Amino acid sequence: MLSIRNRLAALFFLITVFAVGVVYLYVTPQLQTSLRDEKQTALADAAARLSQPVLDAVESGVPRDDLEETVAQVADRASARATLLAVSPDEQTVRPLVDSSVGKEMEAAGLEVAERAVDLGATATSAEVGSDGRLTQAAEPLVVNGTISRVLLLTAQAEDVEAQAALIRRQILVAGGIAMALALIIGGLVARVITQRVRSIEQVAERVAAGDFSARFPTGAKDELGQLARALDDMQRQLAELDSARKRFISTASHELRTPIFSLGGFLELLEEEDMDPETRRSFLRQVREQVDRLGKLATGLLDLSRLEAGSLELRPERCDIGLLAQVVTSEFVPALAAHDSRLELRLGGHSIRAQCDPERVGQVLRILIDNALTHTPSGTDLVVTAARGDGHVRLAVRDSGPGIEAQSLDRVFEPFYTSYSAQGSGLGLAIARELTERMRGSLTVDSQPCAHTTFTLELPA
């Protein structure tokens, strides 16, 4: 009973049982009551309609035989027992006078309904259980010479109503049994189809969980399971892309880490030689220091990138002066600019450039852009850093007059580990800068003209 298939089949069955039970226990009694009321109304109408011939016979004073014949004709036309009762002078009791069923004793209930008709001065009806079974009665008072002196009583058996109700109950039980059997069969078939589809989705999900991203979910159906399959298929494609990116990231990171480590190992072996001249030793030590710096930058970049991808990097926005921030950051590169034999010009607007942002992260992006320009341009290349505000945005731009970026590389410069100069840089800086910018709801773009200039522009909402 824990399976969806059995639960669905049981649900179909229980719904059918409930429907049959409601019809049998609620609808059938009401139908039986309606049939009885209809029978009683029809008998009352017949009593009112057929009372006139009896009244005419009474008023004309016909012989008893003729009166009995008239009452018998009324009984035949009403398909019921007809009884003419006389009302006592005190109008308290009635007694049978003429009866179409000779020899049958009058039921006490008939006398009661006749007396009630006299009291009401109108047609009275009742449904009672007599010696012959369930009876339906209608009494019509007859006014003779301005006084109710006679009552016409019609009595009919209600067994036909009971028989009809019993027949309906039997038919409901038979139909209910067939419906319950069909509910079990159809519910089982429907549940089987649904569980098979669910099982197929489950099997594909198990393959995807095991790392088989070539598996495809059945997305052809338009119903809810089809929508679920399409959502899982989209998830599978995203997981495949993430897995591919993860593998590329690990492969590239391993290669980037292995290269300086192997270089350090080689330099250390060479430095172990005792007969090495001082100048060569100093050159090797300088290269070891460069490789260590490269490893440090690579490790820091990997840590920052992993924190960004994990969403654990917290932003602390505040109202800050972008121009002042640019002055502080550019001043940090005075030694690097001197070593690179380059000049940096800072261009700021005449008014304060303020924005709501995380100054630490904006400074980190600006440092990456300036460092990237120094790393990928030849010595003597001048830089221009511009800060401006307009159209509800703040823009920081770093422009260099270097050789530019090849057109085929422009779309990939923000990818992790991508660099057009394999011997320089880690290829992580611009990727981190782009990710930080997007976290701050900004944009980072590049414009480059070969042998002319390259400009990286950071745009943030003011």
Q: Over 50: is that where the pLDDT of 300 sits?
A: yes
Q: Give the residue, 194 or 395, on which the prediction is more confident.
A: 395
Q: Give the residue, 233 or 271, on which the prediction is more confident.
A: 233
With tokens 């003429």, the residue in question is 98
CA atoms of 19 and 17, how far apart (whole Å) = 5
Segment 363-370 mean pLDDT: 89
Q: Give the residue, 289 or 70, on which the prediction is more confident.
A: 70
Q: State pTM to two decimals.
A: 0.45
* Domains defined along the chain, listed by start: 4-164 (3.30.450.20), 224-308 (1.10.287.130), 315-461 (3.30.565.10)
Asked if 370 contacts 429 with a C-beta cutoff of 8 angstroms, the reply is no
Cβ neighbors of 359 (< 8 A, separation 6 or more) are 318, 320, 325
Asked if 235 contacts 262 with a C-beta cutoff of 8 angstroms, the reply is no
pLDDT of residue 276: 74
Q: What does the pLDDT look like over 91-121, one tens digit per residue?
A: 678 888 888 887 666 666 668 888 888 888 8
pLDDT of residue 286: 80
Segment 149-157 mean pLDDT: 87
Q: Over 80: is that where the pLDDT of 59 sits?
A: yes
CB neighbour class for 256 (10 Å; exposed up to 12, middle 13-18, buried from 19): buried
- Calculate the alpha carbon distances from 3 to 161, 217, 225 in Å: 47, 22, 17
